[in-house]
Structure formats: C-alpha cells, structure tokens
Chain A
C-alpha cells in the first residue's frame, strides 16, 4: 500500500483547497513536511483517520471540523463542505477515497450533516468504477465501502502506521498488543479458524453445532451426560477467565516486585549511609539526654546548697589570700586564742588561771601588760595566725567542692563536643543522600511477595480444578458417544465432529508454531534494528504479549534496565520498524499456509521528540530502509539533524506556513 496524495479543504486550520503529492518512488520513499509546534502537523495526520474511519482524535471540538474563518463568514441558508481525499495504490488498484461533510448555517448556528464516503477505483487495466455501485440497498453499499477500507488498512492496524507522539510512546508497553500483532503478521486467519471451529460447549461454533445436532433419542442418560459435558466445559471457561485475571495479578505483582527490588538494589549505598545516619541520630539523641541530666545535676549541686555554693566563689580568693599571707612577716609571739579582753578579765579577777595573784605593779601584772602588746587587737600577727588556720580548713572543703563541679563541667563539655561532632557527620551524610525513607518500600515489597504467593497458590488450585473438569468432559463424552452412536445419523455426525476436531487441533498447533516462530524472528529483527539505532549494551526482549523491554547482562544474569524517554522512543521505533519490516515480507513457510501480509507506509507526527541528535540520525536512516513509504511531519529543530542522513531518500518536501491560529498553508 502506498499513499499517493492527500487533498483537503476547510479541514480545521487548512482552509484552502490543496493537494499534497507524496513520494511513491521506491528509492526516494520519504516525504517530509516541516512545521513547528501548533502549525498543524497533527491535523494533517488526523485527516487520514477521518477520511478512512470517520473520526479524528483532537483534544477539542472533535466533531466540528469546519474551518473557523469559513464558518464565521457563512450566512444563514448557506452551506460549506469539509473535504479530505486520499489516493492509495494497492495490489495494482488505485483507490480514491473521498470523505465529505457538509455544514449548514441556520438561525445563526452552523451544524454538520453526516459525513459521506465515496471510493473510486481504477484497476490494472485502467477500468474505473465506484465501490458499491453494483450493490442495491444503502446499508449494503456502506458495508461494501467499509469492507474495501478494511481491505486497504483495517482500523485496528492503523495505529501501527499512523503515529502521533503519544502512540510512539505507548506502542511497546500496551497491556496486550497480541491481537494487533496477529493482524499485522498474518496470524489472524489461523486464530479465527480455531475460534470458528470452537468446541462442544460453544454452541454457536462448528463443533458445538454438530454436537447439538446429535439425537439423544430421548435417552435421559445421554441428556444427562451432555448436560454434564456442558457444565464442565462452562466451568472450564470460567476457570480460564479466572486464570487470566490471576495471571494479570501475578504479572502486575511480579512487575511491582521487580520495580521495588530495583529501587532497593540501586540504593544499597544510599541505604548504608541512611543506616549510618540513623545510628548517629540515635547516638545524638541518647547523648543529648545524658547531657541534659548532667546539666540538671550541675545546676542542682551549684544552686541547691547555698552553703556550699560560696565555696565556689571563695576558693580562688582563699588561695590568693593564703599565698599572700604565707610570706607576710608577722609577729606571732602572742598566745593562740588569747586576746586583750582575756587579759583584761584576768586583771579584773586579780589572779591568773595558774593561781598567781595579779596586782597592779607586781610581776604577774607586768607580764600580762607585756603580753597585751602581742595579742589582738594590739597584734595583727596573732589575728593573721588565727585567720590562716581557719582558711586552711575552709580551703580544703572548697577545693573538694570545686573539683566536683569541675569534673561535672568537663563531662558536660565532652558530651557537648560529641554531639557537635555527630551532628557534623549527619549533615555531611545528608548532603550525600536524599532523605528517602526505605521502610515503606521494604514494607510494600514484603506485601507484594505475600500477595504474589497467594495468587500463585490460587493459580495452582485453579489448574487442578481445570484438570478435574477436563477429565470429566472426557469421561462424559465417552458415555455420551456410546449412548448416541447407536443410530446411523449420529454416527455420521460424530464423524463430522472427528474431522472438525482434527482440523481444529492441527490449526491450533500450526498457529502456536507460527506464532512462536514469528515472535523469535520479530525479536531478532527488532534487536538488529535497535543495535543500528542505539550504541550501547542493551538488548530487546519481547514477551508472549508482545510487550517490549530492554535488558542488560549483570554477572551473567539478564536484568531489566531503566529507560529514559529518549531510549523508550528508540526502543519503540525499533519495534515499529521490526513489525513493518516483517509485515512487508512474506513469512517463510515450509507448508501450504501462506501468511502473506500487506506492506504498509509509516506516517509519523513529530517522531523525534525527546530523542537526542545521534538517535534522530539513526532513526531517520533506518526507517526508510524498512518501510515501503515514510511520511514524516518534522520540526525544524529535529530536521537539521535528520536532513544529512535522510536527504538522499527524500522524494518530496513541504513546509507549513502558519498565517494565524485558524489558517495554515502548505507550500
């Protein structure tokens, strides 16, 4: 299939009637349409969807396609057409597919009529005609047209050839692309044949219909056996559905487990640092508690007993006083503890404590008077002597107290230093790691593992249940056939069933073999193309649902790798290119089954978004090699990288010229 041209008028911002001729030269199979964002590249792509399938995918006004200027200038009673016409070449036929929608203005309001599709054809000999012209009845005509569109490009497959940015991003990660790939790679016929032949429980299938045609000759036992066959087969269908949903759960949880384990794996170093940080934080907390206690104790011992607190202030003074008085020259002839008052009292009593009479002028009296010169208050020396003795004792007590305080203060200071040191370490670690809390990840992982186990147990139980049903079906089938085979008519029907089952078995087996072969071949192709587009060590894997992932080898084991947006784009293009390449070629076949499919063009809107310069070049080089025809709507900024590698394949090039929001021209 090749797209020869696109004609349009009044379609959104494309007001003027215009025809775009695409390159159909096999050596120059690329058509480039250059335009920046909002210039209308996506609108051009949507013209194909609207013309072929009668719907366009816009974010706004999906059903109102008429150009805004045209619509605004209409008068009541007037009408205007939106038109898109595509000329396609396929199997030697040239189809001109025209979709037209008329808009009417009445009472100031513009409303569209139902769109009309016309398909004109020209065969290999130049004969022309219109699809549906020989069919009577409007329903049949429309069906005939639909059938031709399906022949050209079934809508289900169009998503693989008409790409907007979103489609390129999603194509390899859709939940299950098997159906589309089957269609693309020619497996659909085999798949449908198996479905149509069906089974006994599917009453509308071929085998089901044969089974129903068997006469039970009013035998209750045969009826019962048939009933039990149906019940068990129906149960098997329910089990198959359950198994499918269980498998979906398993796939989901396996995927989730992988994601979580990856997160934990990748952050092993971060986790070690996080652990270290947590330990330090615990130490700080504990030390802080101890510091608070020490401070309280210090405050308590300092302010709690005031009699002792004065030691703290007195201690340095005592020491200084002691040093000062130690070297002071003082007369200390006086008797310790005796002062002037004592002597005055002895004189007053008239006798000494030794019994001597003290009388003014006698010898004892004179001795006392002499002594009076050395005792306080006349003599400072004795006072000092007394003072020194007192402060010596006081100093000892003060020193003990201050020493106690000192050791407490030193302990506080050490604690404080330790806290500061750990806080510094915590700050340094925090700078290295983000504050990710891994506990919820580990918690979820544990939960996911438990759920996975539950689902796997459920799966096993369902498989056992299914085996039981299968055995029952075989058992009741034998009973039923024994009971019904007595009549000649039934014997013949059983023979039809045997043929139908043989054919079904063979087709199912062939399908499996082909599908497996195609998947392996597709993976090889995609890997070859991926290697040409991407320079690295990643490899593409395609699972049984045709979902694509990238893997790398780590210690001899396959491991899924992270994928940047750019890499996802390259991966998806490799997948698309692989599919297109395989669809282009006939699948090699060693028997009579011809899985020939149709080569298709690739129509791509902004294909290089998020891809870097190198990948833009690689993608541009590869796509024209694998696809029959490539039509790309490209932004100027990407074109400068693509141009050097793709220019010799370009057969036509256009530029979009945006006049205003409602008017774009293609030149």
Chain B
C-alpha cells in the first residue's frame, strides 16, 4: 500500500490513543497483553474505517 494513502490526522490520533492506553496499563498493569492487542486492533479498525466513510 502506498504511504500517500495514509491520513496523517488519523495516524496522529491513533498514536496518541494507543500510547495513552499503553502508558496507563504500564502503571496499573490492569490489562493482559491479549486485552491490549484487542484494544489496539479494534481502535485501528474503527478509526480507519470511520475515516474511510
């Protein structure tokens, strides 16, 4: 896929969301690794899908 097709705004939003969740979890360790994978997976899917509409 060509990088031109990446929406920088969506990318920036994703970076912030994912990192914030990771930082919160690094402190609390409340979520398991698989929960974090699910969270990131769903976040990317939803945000990108929303932007495509």
A residues touching B (Cβ–Cβ < 8 Å)? Answer: 147, 150-151, 154, 183, 186, 188-190, 192-193, 195-198, 204-206, 209-210, 481, 492, 494-500, 502-503, 506-507, 592-594
A193 touches B3 (CB 8 A): no
A154 touches B15 (CB 8 A): no
* Contact digits for B1-26, partner A, Cβ 8 Å, 1 yes 0 no: 10101100011001110110011011
B19 touches A193 (CB 8 A): yes
A154: chain B residues within 8 A (beta carbon): 29
- 9 closest cross-chain pairs (CB), A and B: A189-B22, A189-B23, A189-B26, A498-B1, A150-B29, A188-B26, A193-B22, A206-B40, A206-B41
23 A-B contacts (beta carbon < 8 Å): A147-B30, A150-B27, A151-B29, A192-B25, A192-B26, A193-B18, A196-B33, A204-B34, A210-B44, A492-B48, A492-B52, A495-B5, A496-B48, A497-B1, A499-B10, A500-B40, A502-B6, A503-B14, A503-B18, A506-B15, A507-B18, A507-B19, A593-B19
B16: chain A residues within 8 A (beta carbon): 592
B22: chain A residues within 8 A (beta carbon): 189-190, 192-193, 196
Known contacts: A150-B28, A189-B19, A189-B22. The answer to whether A500 contacts B44 by CB under 8 A is yes
* Contact digits for B36-51, partner A, Cβ 8 Å, 1 yes 0 no: 1100110011001100
A151 touches B28 (CB 8 A): yes
A197 vs B5: C-alpha distance in the bound complex, in angstroms?
20
A498 touches B5 (CB 8 A): yes
A204: chain B residues within 8 A (beta carbon): 34, 37
The interface on chain B, measured as residues whose beta carbon lies within 8 A of the other chain's beta carbons, has a size of 30
B1 touches A494 (CB 8 A): yes
B40: chain A residues within 8 A (beta carbon): 193, 196-197, 206, 500
A593 vs B40: C-alpha distance in the bound complex, in angstroms?
17
B25: chain A residues within 8 A (beta carbon): 189, 192
B residues touching A (Cβ–Cβ < 8 Å)? Answer: 1, 3, 5-6, 10-11, 14-16, 18-19, 22-23, 25-30, 33-34, 36-37, 40-41, 44-45, 48-49, 52
* 18 more CB-based (< 8 A) A-B contacts, given A188-B26, A196-B36, A503-B14: A150-B28, A151-B27, A183-B26, A189-B25, A193-B22, A196-B40, A197-B40, A206-B44, A494-B1, A498-B1, A498-B3, A498-B6, A499-B10, A499-B44, A500-B40, A502-B11, A503-B11, A593-B19
Q: Separation in Å of the B51 CB from the closest CB of chain A? A: 9
A190: chain B residues within 8 A (beta carbon): 19, 22
A500 vs B22: C-alpha distance in the bound complex, in angstroms?
15
A197: chain B residues within 8 A (beta carbon): 18, 40
Residue of A nearest to B39 (CB): A196
B26: chain A residues within 8 A (beta carbon): 183, 186, 188-189, 192
A196: chain B residues within 8 A (beta carbon): 22, 33, 36-37, 40
A204 vs B35: C-alpha distance in the bound complex, in angstroms?
11
A594 touches B23 (CB 8 A): yes
Known contacts: A151-B28, A492-B52. The answer to whether A205 contacts B15 by CB under 8 A is no
Residue of A nearest to B15 (CB): A503
A190 vs B11: C-alpha distance in the bound complex, in angstroms?
16
B41 touches A209 (CB 8 A): yes
Q: Separation in Å of the A49 CB from the closest CB of chain B? A: 18
B44 touches A496 (CB 8 A): yes
A210: chain B residues within 8 A (beta carbon): 41, 44
Q: Separation in Å of the B19 CB from the closest CB of chain A? A: 6
Q: Separation in Å of the B50 CB from the closest CB of chain A? A: 12
B36: chain A residues within 8 A (beta carbon): 192, 196
Residue of A nearest to B34 (CB): A204
B14 touches A499 (CB 8 A): yes
B11 touches A499 (CB 8 A): yes
A189 vs B30: C-alpha distance in the bound complex, in angstroms?
13
The winner among A183, A193, A196, A592 for most chain B CB atoms within 10 A is A196
Out of A150, A192, A198, A495, which one reaches B1, CB within 8 Å? A495
A492: chain B residues within 8 A (beta carbon): 48-49, 52
The winner among B10, B34, B40 for most chain A CB atoms within 10 A is B40
A195 vs B22: C-alpha distance in the bound complex, in angstroms?
11
A502 vs B49: C-alpha distance in the bound complex, in angstroms?
16
Residue of B nearest to A491 (CB): B1
A592: chain B residues within 8 A (beta carbon): 16
Residue of B nearest to A485 (CB): B1
A292 vs B4: C-alpha distance in the bound complex, in angstroms?
96
Residue of A nearest to B41 (CB): A206
Residue of B nearest to A156 (CB): B29
B37 touches A209 (CB 8 A): yes
B28 touches A147 (CB 8 A): yes
Out of B1, B28, B37, which one reaches A206, CB within 8 Å? B37
A592 vs B18: C-alpha distance in the bound complex, in angstroms?
13
Q: Separation in Å of the A351 CB from the closest CB of chain B? A: 150
Residue of B nearest to A187 (CB): B26
Residue of A nearest to B33 (CB): A196
B6: chain A residues within 8 A (beta carbon): 498-499, 502
A547 vs B34: C-alpha distance in the bound complex, in angstroms?
32
Residue of A nearest to B24 (CB): A189
